[in-house]
């Protein structure tokens, strides 16, 4: 989609006039009866009622809905008559861009044009550029998560990452199965070896401070392109949703793409251990004890707890080789996190108070919320194994998201600025735009907000 901005309203335009609920200049008009998110046509213009309490995702959501529902009346020259500014304007424009998104590639429209009338503000070109980059990257993440599993094998995911790196001028390497074995990424290999689509290990790097080689921020994303559960096979009801098990990877690839597009002055890496968790004669078995990159052995009790295995290697490899100042992983790790927080927030784990505060704050302003759960040592005993250093399944059928986080912590080399985000409920869910669950692109804007803060203040996470 292309948005053109004009500072003069022309005759043949369809005017959308957004206003904040309760704003005094509208008192007395019939439009004052509107609730936030509602619109009506009055004297030839469409009045759209906003709430001053909306976060950026809510702003984008309602503008997406408005644009989708009213576009057919926009004719040749639709326009939004607005005096929105700053973050609110950026989010509204993002919503208008995303209104062209359709998870069915056959129905995707690209050549749409929208003309906006905006009260002239000096930073409009910059805001429009940001909104377009944020919208396109979010749509890229959504598209990847919505793709069927046979169209996004681990190798495909590697290609997507490489294409983005080439297009926006950053580095990307994709290691194949042989390289994974040679590099001793044993846990990733154990998960991927049962699939006809071999695992890959993706390493993207963006140097926004090219005078330094140090990595300020590393992202590690769970890239399971389909999760059958493996030999501990899942029930078939809703198993098709497990195509979304690479949503953590999609968010992390989106975050680095956006950093490159917006030229943030940070050195960032995104690492994606990617595999398909398949059922096969070669699949890892329950009861097996596997090696891992860290040197620690892992007892596999349940092959469906595969995300933590690939992340164990992703985290250990990243900490050792990239030595990032801050490391954040994102994963569709547990159903337990959804039972705890529903589809309104992701579970956040970190012992770094400043990192927790910054991510919590970014969650509120972006609308991609996180809520902290504990990493206390009280839970250590849950992951005891008699035959290995650690078990991949808790001995108790409770606190599933917490024990998964505790498992990951074992592989972080006691990094002092590590955060883990368990987010299946947020990344793939019901919405008014579709009839079934679909991708949200969760994480892209949370991390975008966080990266902007980190670029401004490098002490943000120093305890």
Shortest Cβ distance from residue 166 to ligand BES (Å)?
Answer: 30
Shortest Cβ distance from residue 190 to ligand BES (Å)?
Answer: 14
By three-state DSSP, how is residue 178 classified?
A: helix
Q: What is the CA radius of gyration of the chain?
A: 23
Instruction: Tell me how many residues contact Zn ion (CB under 5 A).
Output: 6
Phi, psi (5° rounding) for residue 28? 95, -25
Other Cβ atoms within 10 Å of 120 Cβ, number: 9
The answer to whether residues 346 and 370 touch, using CB atoms and an 8 Å cutoff, is: yes
**Binders in 329-358 for ligand BES, by CB under 6 A:** 332-336, 338
Alpha helices in 36-112 (DSSP H): 56-70, 86-98
Return the residue of 96, 220, 268, 305 that touches ligand BES, per CB under 6 A.
305
Q: Which segment (68-76, 91-99, 212-220, 297-305) binds ligand BES by CB under 6 A? A: 297-305
Say whether residue 307 binds ligand BES (CB under 6 A).
Answer: yes
Say whether residue 422 binds Zn ion (CB under 5 A).
Answer: no
Shortest Cβ distance from residue 309 to Zn ion (Å)?
Answer: 10
**Binders in 292-331 for Zn ion, by CB under 5 A:** 304, 306-307
Shortest Cβ distance from residue 407 to ligand BES (Å)?
Answer: 10
* Angle in degrees, 0-180, between the axes of helices 247-261 and 124-146, rounded to the nearest 10: 160
Say whether residue 302 binds ligand BES (CB under 6 A).
Answer: yes
Which residue number, 92 or 305, has a Cβ lying nearer to ligand BES? 305
339 catalytic residue (yes or no): no
Say whether residue 368 binds ligand BES (CB under 6 A).
Answer: no
The answer to whether residues 253 and 158 touch, using CB atoms and an 8 Å cutoff, is: no
By three-state DSSP, how is residue 423 classified?
A: coil
Return the residue of 156, 216, 227, 257 that touches Zn ion, per CB under 5 A.
227
Query: Distance between the two ends of the chain, CA-based, in angstroms?
Result: 44
**Binders in 221-240 for ligand BES, by CB under 6 A:** 227
Phi, psi (5° rounding) for residue 42? -145, 125
Return the residue of 49, 174, 251, 393 that touches ligand BES, per CB under 6 A.
393
Catalytic residue among 21, 209, 234, 354: 234
Q: Which segment (33-41, 122-130, 302-310, 448-456) binds ligand BES by CB under 6 A? A: 302-310
Instruction: State how far the Cα of 54 lies from the Cα of 62, in Å rounded to an integer.
Output: 10
Contacts of 21 (CB under 8 A, 6+ apart): 34, 35, 36, 49, 50, 51, 52
Closest CA to 17 of 81, 78, 66, 69: 81
Shortest Cβ distance from residue 312 to Zn ion (Å)?
Answer: 14
Please give the structure tokens belonging to residue 422.
């368990």
296 catalytic residue (yes or no): no
Say whether residue 276 binds ligand BES (CB under 6 A).
Answer: no
Instruction: State how far the Cα of 172 lies from the Cα of 370, in Å rounded to an integer.
Output: 29
**Binders in 93-132 for Zn ion, by CB under 5 A:** none
Other Cβ atoms within 10 Å of 124 Cβ, number: 17
Q: Which segment (40-48, 124-132, 138-146, 221-229) binds Zn ion by CB under 5 A? A: 221-229
The answer to whether residues 23 and 133 touch, using CB atoms and an 8 Å cutoff, is: no
Instruction: State how far the Cα of 388 lies from the Cα of 377, in Å rounded to an integer.
Output: 19
Q: Out of ligand BES, Zn ion, none, which partner does residue 335 contact, by CB within 5 to 8 A per kind?
A: ligand BES
Q: Out of ligand BES, Zn ion, none, which partner does residue 287 contact, by CB within 5 to 8 A per kind?
A: none
Say whether residue 400 binds ligand BES (CB under 6 A).
Answer: yes
Say whether residue 424 binds ligand BES (CB under 6 A).
Answer: yes
Instruction: Tell me how many residues contact ligand BES (CB under 6 A).
Output: 16
Going by their DSSP bridges, the two strands 346-349 and 418-422 should be labelled as antiparallel
Q: Which residues bind ligand BES (CB under 6 A)?
A: 227, 245, 302, 304-307, 332-336, 338, 393, 400, 424
Q: Which residues bind Zn ion (CB under 5 A)?
A: 224, 227, 245, 304, 306-307
**Residues labelled as active-site residues:** 234, 308
């Amino acid at each position: 989609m292309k948005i053109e901005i004009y500072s003069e309203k022309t005759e043949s335009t369809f005017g959308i006039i957004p206003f904040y609920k309760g704003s005094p200049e509208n008192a007395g008009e019939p439009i004052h009866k509107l609730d936030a998110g509602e619109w009506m046509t009055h004297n030839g213009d469409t009045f759209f009622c906003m709430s001053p309490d909306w976060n950026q995702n809510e702003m984008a959501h309602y503008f997406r809905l408005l644009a989708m529902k009213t576009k057919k009346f926009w004719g040749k020259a639709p326009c939004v008559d607005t005096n929105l500014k700053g973050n609110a304007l950026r989010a509204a424009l993002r919503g208008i861009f995303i209104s062209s998104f359709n998870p069915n590639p056959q129905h995707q429209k690209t050549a749409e044009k929208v003309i906006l009338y905006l009260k002239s503000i000096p930073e409009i070109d910059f805001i429009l550029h940001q909104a377009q980059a944020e919208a396109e990257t979010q749509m890229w993440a959504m598209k990847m998560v919505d793709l069927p599993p046979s169209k996004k094998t681990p190798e495909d995911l590697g290609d997507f990452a490489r294409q983005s790196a080439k297009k926006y001028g950053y580095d990307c390497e994709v290691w194949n199965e042989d390289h994974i074995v040679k590099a001793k990424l044993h846990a990733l290999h154990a998960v991927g070896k049962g699939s006809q689509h071999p695992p890959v290990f993706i390493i993207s790097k963006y140097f926004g401070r090219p005078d330094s080689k140090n990595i300020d921020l590393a992202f590690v994303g769970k890239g399971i392109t389909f999760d059958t559960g493996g030999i501990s096979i899942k029930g078939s009801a809703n198993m098709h949703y497990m195509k979304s098990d690479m949503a953590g990877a999609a968010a992390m690839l989106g975050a680095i793409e956006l950093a490159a597009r917006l030229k943030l002055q940070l050195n960032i890496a995104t690492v994606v251990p990617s595999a398909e968790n398949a059922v096969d004669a070669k699949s890892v078995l329950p009861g097996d004890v596997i090696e891992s990159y860290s040197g620690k052995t892992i007892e596999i009790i349940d092959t469906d707890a595969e995300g933590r295995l690939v992340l164990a290697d992703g985290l250990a490899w990243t900490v050792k080789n990239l030595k990032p100042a801050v490391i954040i992983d994102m994963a569709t790790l547990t159903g337990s996190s959804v039972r705890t927080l529903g589809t309104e927030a992701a579970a956040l784990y970190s012992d770094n108070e400043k990192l927790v505060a910054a991510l919590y704050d970014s969650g509120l302003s972006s609308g991609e919320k996180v809520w902290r759960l504990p990493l206390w040592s009280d839970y250590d005993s849950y992951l005891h194994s008699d035959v290995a250093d650690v078990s991949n399944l808790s001995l108790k059928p409770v606190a599933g998201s917490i024990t998964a986080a505790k498992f990951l912590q074992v592989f972080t080399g006691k990094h002092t600025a590590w955060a883990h985000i368990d987010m299946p409920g947020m990344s793939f869910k019901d919405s008014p735009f579709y009839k079934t669950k679909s991708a949200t692109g969760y994480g892209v804007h949370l991390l975008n907000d966080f990266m902007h803060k980190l670029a401004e203040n490098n002490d943000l996470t120093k305890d």
